[in-house]
Amino acid sequence: MRFLRKTLPYWFVMGVEIFLSSSVMAAENNEELAYKLDYVVTLVPEKAGAVVKIKVDKGQLLHKFSFNNERNIYSDLHANGKLTTNGKRIEWELPSGEATLSYFVLLTNERSSGKFDSRVTDKWALFRGDDLIPAVHTYEVPNAYSIATLAFNLPKNWKSVETGWQRKNGNIFSVDNPERRFDRPTGWMIAGNIGTRRATVKKTGIAISAPAGEGMRRMDALTFFNFVWPELHKAFDKTPQKLLVVGAGDPMWRGGLSASNSLFLHSDRPLVSENGTSPLLHELTHMVTRISGKVTETANDDWIAEGLAEFYSFELLYRADGMTKARRTKIINGLSKWGNEVEHLRKTKSTGPVTARAVVLLDELDKEIRKRSNNKYDIDDVTRELMKHRKVSLENLTQATQKLIGPKVETLNSPLLK
């Protein structure tokens, strides 16, 4: 500042000083709006769940939050402050200063008869943070925000824990979601006697983790990611800092399920199916793009999200030289036959045949975009635009395409979309 006074006009220097002072004050005030939010999880395998403690150091900033207990998985609730239950709705009014809420959560969940999408055994646990910490509605001081950590207490002889969040140290993870002021640790998590393989590709830390003896081909998956990941990065122009892939065998549900920073894949599912599509890349596309279809009274556009996930499940492989052009053509032909009897894409949940027919339409859309733009644009540009919306409709898809190639998109004028 002394140098500025000597070389610049007084009015300019004063302006800079005022600006800097205001910035410092804003930063200080911003820090005053931060509160520590600590989640402490003690896994209790004999009860197929966990005890969760939520600690807040400044209850005067986070006044109150509430959540649903419609599935009756939360019990034995205790808190300082005021805790009330209204039907299936639980509400916690925090005291000023330090505030603590604790409860037991049942983590084992039977998705269908004899098949589990979340399970706790005496040797390991595989579950979602979405269940561990419920979705909450918060009431706080304007602009207040959390600085959150997630810590685990493991049973004796349990080896380690993995989440899709950055590890701070030991069994403690930093939880930072820039899109939300109240940081909630969502995504897949796994703990116990587990094995993990790791790699860093394009600045993304990738971990493949599964219980010992469950048949998860960790190195296969890691090798697969090493050559496909650069193409995924090019396509979506956005990849997470960390990716966790978890898996296990029966009686876990025989499928794939994605979350915001992680995904589950049954250990018996192949990396690439016999029809040439990849279940792993399908779920990964869901995870990275976070695109889902809008549902209204007159239409269901789930076909867009599922169609894109299935399209990229082989397209990324093709771009990474994992298959020939002839093989790609064969995949499209096979999907065309599978979805041959589908007459409408928008009037049902995107089942297998509907998704197959959606892929063929999206492939045709890609060709039209490339042709009309002289290869300046392709389906990736549309997908990146849809990623901004997340929950998308046919109107969003049409507008994103018209933005690139102009009106009258022939592919989207198909009877399949009426």
Measure Cα distances from 142 to 22, 175, 233 in Å: 19, 21, 36
- C-alpha–C-alpha distance, residues 369 and 362, integer Å: 10
Nearest one of 187, 186, 191 to 161, comparing CA atoms: 191
- The DSSP result for 30-60, as a single string, is HHHTEEEEEEEEEEEGGGTEEEEEEEES-TT
- C-alpha–C-alpha distance, residues 328 and 123, integer Å: 42
Dig out the tokens for 350 from the structure: 């995107």
- The backbone region for 376, taken as left when phi is positive above 0, alpha when psi lies in -120 to 50, beta otherwise, is alpha
- Tell me the whole-structure pTM to 2 decimals: 0.86
Domains of the chain: 39-269 (2.60.40.3650), 288-417 (no CATH)
Q: List the pLDDT tens digit at each of the 418 positions of the chain.
A: 333 333 333 333 334 333 333 333 333 447 789 999 999 999 999 999 999 999 999 999 999 999 999 999 999 999 999 999 988 999 999 999 999 999 999 999 998 888 999 999 999 999 999 999 999 999 999 999 999 999 999 999 999 999 999 999 999 999 998 888 999 999 999 999 999 999 998 889 999 999 999 989 999 999 999 999 999 999 999 888 899 999 999 999 998 898 889 999 999 999 999 999 999 999 999 999 999 999 887 779 999 999 999 999 999 999 999 999 999 999 999 999 999 999 999 987 889 999 999 999 999 999 999 999 999 999 999 999 999 999 999 999 999 999 999 999 999 999 999 8
